[in-house]
Amino acid sequence: MRLGFDGSCLANRRGFGRFARRLLAALAPKAAEQGHEVVVILDAQSAGTVDLPESVVPRIVGVREAPGEAASARGRRGLSDMLAMGRAASRAKLDLMYFPATYSFYPVWGVPRVVVTMHDTLTMEHPELVFPTRRGRAAWWLKEWVARRSSDRIVTVSETSKRFLMERLRLDADRIRVVGEAADPVFRPIRDQEAADAALARHGVGAGSRFLLYVGGLSPHKNLPRLVEAFAASAPDDVTLVLTGDFHDVFHTHVPEIRAAITRHRLDGRVILPGFVPDEDLAALYGRAYALVFPSLLEGFGLPAVEAMACGTPVVASRAGSLPEVVGDAGLFFDPLDVTDMTRALGAILGDPGLRGSLAAAALRRSASFDWGRSATSLLAYFDELVPGGRPESGAGRSRGPRRTSRGAGGELGLNEIPRDAQLIRSPVRGGESRRSG
């Protein structure tokens, strides 16, 4: 099989990019072992910033603007650039084209099979929190509609996201496959304490301080002003809150609102915003944090939770979306819209070192259940369903929309069992209530 891999989101510094990079690194050697060739379609701007596995064949495409930058919250991606990427894929004589995110999707033609990854339903549940303009919303919706109509299979990253996509888009289970995520090898328990001290110092965190950590974007749906409020109500004066996130993110952010919440609750000096943190330093922050706090209104997977667990750090997380599925018994949960409930959860872990210790031990155990190699193996198996023996399945044309087929197990890579007391919140809705999915 000649497999195309969209590399235009590899340079992205958010979860889309990390998913694409780690999946490609795991996929390439396994594909080579099975006699498959992986062709990475990559824009020239990104090609100079990412490392590709040795076994892949790069196809570098000249475009006016890097897709990773242009596919932003404001939707300024040029049609000519998308057509240039599509032509490159179409001329590569592929059996199958895979997009690790609809974020960087572009139409292709002359390719027998197309598989796209839809990470979550966030843009369907909360478009106003993701896109500041109507143009951005319209551009994203059109791109996602074309991606869905063009795809033969949709990949998502958790059973929760699969359920939400089936409900939202009325898709049959047989059309969706699940490929989980995992932590990068850099995220592990701290060994070099001096290096960790230096990493913390570079980001304004005292070596001996007790701090709660947030890792991710600074977007409205990440719910950080409520976290600041809950921290003010629950944390003793000797505890710090560290909110990492890229100030120059191409996605919609609301840093002024976060700063205003910090000032309003008189937490200047106790809440640190270090900006973007590279992985080596981030591993030190994870390892020294008292807990990772993840207050999002919706997550499709929640990779920072797995990274924290791999460092032996427990998680205090929102019940929204996939987080209870991912975190399991390694954390505490709260309603992301209920500041009182969030305050309770933070107070519980800060006030009980024994609880923190037991959750930390559970975190390390649970992190071992997530593995990129297993994810790559599952993805290749899904490709083989569509291209058995290296040739597209006979008698089946390109899918142009949701297929009405019988429901079945689909061979998904399941995550560990969700704890019984973890109630899933599908998505907070207007009016301060939550729509729940059991």
One-character DSSP codes across 26-78: HHHHHHHHTT-EEEEEEEHHHHTT-PPPTTSEEEEE--SS-HHHHSSTT----
- pLDDT value at 418 more than 50: no
The pLDDT assigned to 127 comes to 73
Sheet bearing 176-178, strands edge to edge = 57-61, 37-43, 2-6, 96-99, 113-117, 153-156, 176-178
The pLDDT of residue 126 is above 80: no
Among 53-57, 76-80, 84-88, 341-345, name the one with the lowest average pLDDT.
Answer: 76-80
Q: Could you read off the pLDDT of 258-311 as tens digits, one per residue?
A: 999 999 999 999 999 999 999 999 999 999 999 999 999 999 999 999 999 999
Residues 6+ apart with CB under 8 A from 430: none
Region 396-411: mean pLDDT is 34
Per the prediction, the chain carries an average pLDDT of: 85
Helix axes 303-310, 15-33, angle to 10 degrees: 70
pLDDT of 118 above 50: yes
Q: Which tens digits make up the pLDDT trace of 129-178?
A: 777 777 777 777 788 888 888 899 999 999 999 999 999 988 899 999 99
Lowest-pLDDT choice from 198-202, 323-327, 391-395, 418-422: 418-422
Q: Which residues contact 94 (CB under 8 A, 6 or more apart)?
A: 2, 3, 4, 39, 111, 112
One-letter amino acid for residue 360 of the chain: A
Cross-strand pairs, 98: 5, 115
More confident residue, 145 or 365: 365
Q: Which residue has the higher pLDDT, 327 or 44?
A: 327
Choose among 408, 431, 435: nearest CA to 172.
408
The beta strand positions in 217-329, using DSSP E, are: 239-244, 271-275, 291-294, 315-318
Q: How far apart are CA 361 and CA 357, in angstroms?
A: 6
163: which residues sit within 8 A by CB, 6+ positions away? 437
For position 253, what pLDDT does the model report? 79
77: confidence class by pLDDT, cuts 50, 70, 90 = low
pLDDT at residue number 5: 98
**What is the C-alpha separation between 324 and 358, in angstroms, rounded?**
17
Segment 222-240, tens digit of pLDDT: 999 999 999 999 999 999 9
Q: Check whether 429 has a pLDDT greater than 60.
A: no
Q: Which of 258, 273, 279 has its CA nearest to residue 213?
A: 273
Higher pLDDT, 370 or 416: 370
Q: Domains in the chain and their CATH numbers? A: 2-182+371-390 (3.40.50.2000), 193-369+419-436 (3.40.50.2000)
Helix (H, G, I), strand (E, B) or coil at 72: coil
**In the predicted model, is pLDDT for residue 68 greater than 80?**
no
Task: Please report where in the chains the tokens 């572009």 appear, as a residue.
Answer: 106
pTM of the model: 0.84
Looking at the chain, the whole-number percentage of residues with pLDDT higher than 90 is: 66
- From residue 103, how far is each of 26, 141, 321 by CA, in Å? 21, 11, 19
Q: What percent of the chain has pLDDT over 70?
A: 85
pLDDT at 26 over 80: yes
